[in-house]
A and B are shown apart, each in its own frame.
Chain A
Amino acid sequence: MRRIQSIARSPIAVALFMSLALAGCASKKNLPNNAGDLGLGVGANGAVAGSAQDFTVNVGDRIFFDTDSSVIRADAQQTLSKQAQWLQRYPNYAITIEGHADERGTREYNLALGQRRAAATRDYLASQGVPASRMRTISYGKERPVAVCDDISCWSQNRRAVTVLGGAGS
């Protein structure tokens, strides 16, 4: 990522930077991101069906947002539909939806924006059949970045809503 950062500061290389940035983030293994799209079956990677690991790895526990937006994008709708199916199959999980913002905003507005994203995510899951009573929301604003660098590729990773499995049956 360091090389990408230095390129990012050169305005001449913006187009090159964009393609590198995408490649750079795709290689980040520690970000669970729609692994289900890769066609992995339940259990194919060792995750016990119905476990939190199964949810994170095989379903995808997070969706991403455009700058300053809480609109559920098409790619996010796919992820949330899978989440909703999984959550209906394993109805004992209460869930917390965490809303997050990137660092390119002020602290208080970002806390509110994170809440707006969490609420939009909850509403979408509810529309897919997940009972609202199982879901709570919390916003961390820009306080809990997962990707730490100073370019667009990182900021886009941080504009997210994460579905966290809470205590079973609670």
Chain B
Amino acid sequence: MKTTIRTFLSVFAVFMAVSVVAVPPANAVVEIDINKGNVEPLPIAITDFLSGDQLGANITSIIAADLERSGLFAPIDKGAFIEKISNPDAAPRFEDWKVINAQALVTGRVTKEADGRLKAEFRLWDTFAGQQLAGQQFYTSAGNWRRIAHIIADAIYERLTGEKGYFDSRIVFIDESGSKEKRVKRLAIMDQDGANVIYLSDGRDLVLTPRFSPSRQEITYMSFAGGRPRVYLLQLDTGQREVVGNFPGMTIAPRFSPDGQKVVMSLLQDDGSANIYTMDLRSRTTTRLTSSSAIDTGASYSPDGTQIVFESDRGGRPQIYVMGADGSNPRRISFGDGTYSTPVWSPRGDLIAFTKQSGGQFSIGVMKTDGSGERLLTTGFHNEGPTWAPNGRVLMFFRQPPGAGSRLFTIDVTGRNERQIQTPNFASDPAWSPLLD
């Protein structure tokens, strides 16, 4: 356990210098409007970064995979390339790239510094305008080469879409193994592309619903440790675990406030009701936010911290409600057929994602924060538990087909581009980290 935490730490506590190499003010011709309903993926040529070994090609393959998986880019097969880049600092022969319809071109170089660090440089070119759009260099420890690739992919994504990327981020989730009646669930963390899986628990205790702190290397989750199911905090840098609050019953459904200072959760009370509480992590004071005889759970803060969305069956079946962060003025916002649960507020503030049950099917959907404009992104036997990418453009959720274990998927907020995330075993309860930077 200790070693995995340390390994994780070394990955997280990376020193990284970023400097702009020469970004001439460019009037980008090539750009993607990701607000359009149906985007044709942008053809992009990503050349192997120059390096003395395989590392350059490894980094570019990760950049290409990130961009391809976003659904917004179509990396061109390297076999079609005409020009062989020998000097990534010099302008490429744009004609050679226009001929193969590469609207954007990425070139770069990886070198090992004398102190052992890696230096990665890249340039992004607009081939039809014949100009450089971006150029940056990054330093990191040698073991951290995948992160360099994700950071460069984010830079390319941002330059071409005008939106922040989400590739340099992680997922905390529940790894599931064993038979369905005796499922072993382990807390695990991985890069957003499924690489670098690290286990944070040994499977002895049932663990559920982990969530990242927005501001610290910390997660909150629920564990049945010691036969007392409660909400815990786990410090990722030290491995230290602690119970959140001193409640008389089970606590479930934890989530951090946007400033990372509070955990909101539900207390399962003796009378069978569930009410929402917060605990201030500094002062250790707990505050009760709802007082109903119903089940109030699944609380999630708005990104400005002023409101909380939650699910409640106070009206009969589970529906979505919004209230002030102090519990004031709760109002129902979901009114469609079926039941709604697991609401989660978009980091952009504009949408609430949810799980909807209707007609024996489970959907992932989004609605505006007043409940209008409901759209279902995917529907099937069982889809559950959406979590937002840091840029609010992509959702991850888990899907359980009949008779099988669950797997993680991503889908655009537009409902396009559904992709499965590779995990070592079955997986559920994903939660997306903020951008790491």
Contact = CB atoms under 8 A, between A and B. Distances in A.
B290 to A, nearest CB: 12
B342 interface: yes
A143 B272 contact: no
A112 B268 contact: yes
Contacts of B274: 112, 115
Contacts of B342: 106-108
A138 B297 contact: no
B239 interface: no
Contacts, number: 92
A144 B206 CA distance: 10
Given A106-B385, A115-B268, A138-B227, A143 B341 contact: no
Contacts of A5: 402-403
A148 interface: yes
A115 B297 CA distance: 13
Contacts of B341: 105-106, 108-109
Contact of A107 (B250, B317, B318, B385): B385
A105 B342 CA distance: 11
B295 interface: yes
Contacts of A113: 295
A143 B227 CA distance: 14
Nearest to A110: B341
A139 B268 contact: yes
Contacts of A120: 272
Contacts of A108: 209, 252-253, 266, 297-298, 311, 341-342
B250 A138 contact: yes
A109 B273 CA distance: 11
Given A115-B274, A139-B250, A109 B180 contact: no
A7 to B, nearest CB: 14
B429 A107 contact: yes
B297 A112 contact: yes
A30 B183 CA distance: 19
A116 B266 CA distance: 13
Nearest to B229: A138
Given A119-B271, A119-B272, A138-B250, A107 B181 contact: no
A149 B429 CA distance: 21
Interface size class of B (residues with CB under 8 A): 35 or more
Interface string B309-342: 0010100011000000000000000000000011
Contact of A68 (B229, B250, B317): B317
A146 B298 CA distance: 26
Given A119-B271, A148-B181, A139 B229 contact: yes
Interface size class of A (residues with CB under 8 A): 20 to 34
Contact of A105 (B227, B229, B357): B357
Interface string B152-196: 000000000000000000000000000111010100000000000
Contacts of A112: 252, 266, 268, 274, 295, 297
Contacts of A116: 272-273, 295
A167 to B, nearest CB: 12
Contacts of B295: 109, 112-113, 116
B132 interface: no
A87 B405 CA distance: 39
A73 interface: no
A145 B385 contact: no
B311 A109 contact: yes
B218 interface: no
Tell me which of A107, A113, A149 has the highest count of chain B C-beta atoms within 10 A of its own C-beta.
A107
Nearest to B182: A144
A95 interface: no
A149 B403 contact: yes
Contacts of B66: none
A50 B429 CA distance: 42
Contacts of B208: 107, 111, 143
Contacts of A104: 357, 360, 382
A49 B185 CA distance: 37
Interface in B250-281: 250, 252-253, 266, 268, 270-274
B127 interface: no
Contacts of A118: 272
A33 interface: no
24 contacts: A5-B403, A70-B272, A104-B382, A105-B357, A106-B342, A106-B355, A106-B385, A107-B342, A108-B209, A108-B252, A108-B342, A109-B318, A111-B250, A111-B252, A111-B297, A112-B252, A112-B295, A112-B297, A116-B273, A116-B295, A140-B206, A143-B185, A145-B180, A146-B181
Given A106-B385, A109-B311, 16 more contacts: A103-B382, A103-B400, A106-B341, A106-B342, A106-B355, A109-B297, A109-B298, A109-B318, A111-B252, A111-B297, A115-B274, A116-B273, A116-B295, A138-B227, A139-B268, A148-B181
Interface of A: 5, 68, 70, 103-109, 111-113, 115-120, 137-140, 143-146, 148-150
6 tightest A-B CB contacts, nearest first: A119-B272, A116-B272, A150-B402, A112-B274, A115-B268, A112-B295
